[in-house]
C-alpha cells in the first residue's frame, strides 16, 4: 500500500512545478523576466499591461487571485504614489521548485496604489533563487 501511494506522489515531487499550475499571465511574466539569481527584475510593465487602467481595488484583487496570486489589502500608502488612497493592494506568487525538498524557485511581488478608488501606481518585481 505504501509503495502504491509513493508511486502516485512521485510525479508530483519530481515534475517541475509539482502539483501547481500556472496561469498564462504568470507564465508570461516568468518567461519575459530578466531576473538573475538574487537580483530582482522590475516586471511592473508586464503587470500594468494585464490590469486595465482605472480598475478598482476589488476588481484588481479578484483578477490577481483568479490568476494564482495571493492578495491582501493593507492600510498603507506607497512612497512613490503621491496623493494615493490609504489602502494598497499587495499580491505575490511563489513558483515552487522542481523538487519539493528544494527551496522555492522564484517570487513575483506586486504593490498597487490607488487614487480615488482606481489604479494609480503598480510596482512589481520578480526574484529568482540560487539553484
Cell numbers standing for residue 42:
522590475
pTM: 0.75
Instruction: Say if residues 41 and 34 touch (Cβ distance below 8 Å).
Output: yes
Task: For the chain, 131 residues long, give each residue's pLDDT as a single digit of tens.
Answer: 444 433 333 333 334 443 345 678 888 888 888 878 778 899 999 999 999 889 999 999 999 999 999 999 999 989 999 999 999 999 999 887 666 655 667 889 999 999 999 999 999 999 887 55
In which domain, by residue range, is 90 found? 2-128
Give CA–CA dist 14/71, Å, rounded.
Answer: 28
How many domains does one find in the chain?
Answer: 1
Instruction: Say if residues 18 and 12 touch (Cβ distance below 8 Å).
Output: yes
Give CA–CA dist 83/64, Å, rounded.
Answer: 24
β partners of residue 122: 112
Amino acid at each position: 500500500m505504501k509503495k502504491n501511494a509513493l508511486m502516485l506522489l512521485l510525479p508530483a515531487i519530481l515534475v517541475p512545478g509539482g502539483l501547481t499550475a500556472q496561469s498564462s499571465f504568470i507564465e508570461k511574466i516568468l518567461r519575459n523576466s530578466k531576473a538573475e539569481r538574487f537580483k530582482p527584475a522590475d516586471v511592473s510593465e508586464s503587470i500594468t499591461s494585464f490590469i486595465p487602467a482605472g480598475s478598482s481595488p476589488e476588481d484588481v484583487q479578484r483578477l490577481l487571485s483568479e490568476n494564482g496570486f495571493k492578495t491582501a489589502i493593507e492600510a498603507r500608502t506607497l512612497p512613490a504614489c503621491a496623493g494615493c488612497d490609504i489602502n494598497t493592494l499587495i499580491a505575490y506568487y511563489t513558483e515552487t521548485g522542481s523538487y519539493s525538498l528544494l527551496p522555492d524557485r522564484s517570487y513575483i511581488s506586486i504593490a498597487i496604489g490607488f487614487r480615488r478608488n482606481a489604479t494609480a501606481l503598480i510596482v512589481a518585481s520578480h526574484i529568482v533563487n540560487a539553484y
